[in-house]
Amino acid sequence: MDMSSVNESIGLKIRNLRQQNGLTQQELADRTELTKGFISQLENGQVSPSVVTLLDLIECLGTTPDKFFKEEKQTEIVFGEKDYFDKYDEAGNLIQWVVPTAQGNQMEPLHVVILPKQALKPDRPHAGEEFGYVIRGSVTVTVGEDRFTANAGESFYYQTNMVHALENAGDDEAELIWVSTPPNF
């Protein structure tokens, strides 16, 4: 890594931290007894700060040298079978968590296979929404007192403020992608 790319990397981190803290370049300059022009040049990778100046900036931006220089690991984006977690309920239906970090996310996607003439355990009302896309077979979606059928190639979407359940009334397996928000499994 050459010096100009180091300067650009430091400048970008300084700019991002400044913006996260809701500071203008002038406000950061005032806190560190630097000029607005120097802060601008620093953020654009045009100057190299001294170690003392950089440590002062890091402290004023509410972080530590360790956190500032730590390389952020790219969040995993693609998941495969090695990442999945399978659960079979007492009836033999498959519930497969296909994103292992979903509990910390806004959505929780599942791959589900419901055996013929079987149902998943009904879910009590909770805050959130659920979406499903039927890959093969068909499912009966119950929301409160209402029942709906979703066939292969169709989707369903509902608020989870009433008792809700999925059932396969057919003679073939039903397979679907089921997404809930927020995660609740």
- 114 with 164, same domain? yes
- Tell me the two tokens of residue 177: 């992608």
pTM given for the model: 0.61
DSSP 94: E
Domain boundary pick from 69, 93, 120: 69
One-letter identity of residue 166: L
Q: Residue 23: which domain range?
A: 3-69
What is the spatial distance between Cα 181 and Cα 43, in angstroms, rounded to a whole number? 38
What is the spatial distance between Cα 42 and Cα 36, in angstroms, rounded to a whole number? 10
Per residue in 58-69, pLDDT (tens digit) is 999 989 998 888
Can you tell me which residue has the tokens 């497969």? 96
What is the spatial distance between Cα 81 and Cα 77, in angstroms, rounded to a whole number? 14
Instruction: Look at the chain and report how many structural domains it folds into.
Output: 2
- 176 with 127, same domain? yes
Angle in degrees, 0-180, between the axes of helices 36-43 and 25-32, rounded to the nearest 10 = 110
- 134 with 63, same domain? no
Of residues 143, 122, 130, 121, the one with CA closest to residue 183: 130
- 92 with 174, same domain? yes
What is the spatial distance between Cα 5 and Cα 154, in angstroms, rounded to a whole number? 50
Per residue in 123-165, pLDDT (tens digit) is 999 999 999 999 999 999 999 999 999 999 999 999 999 999 9
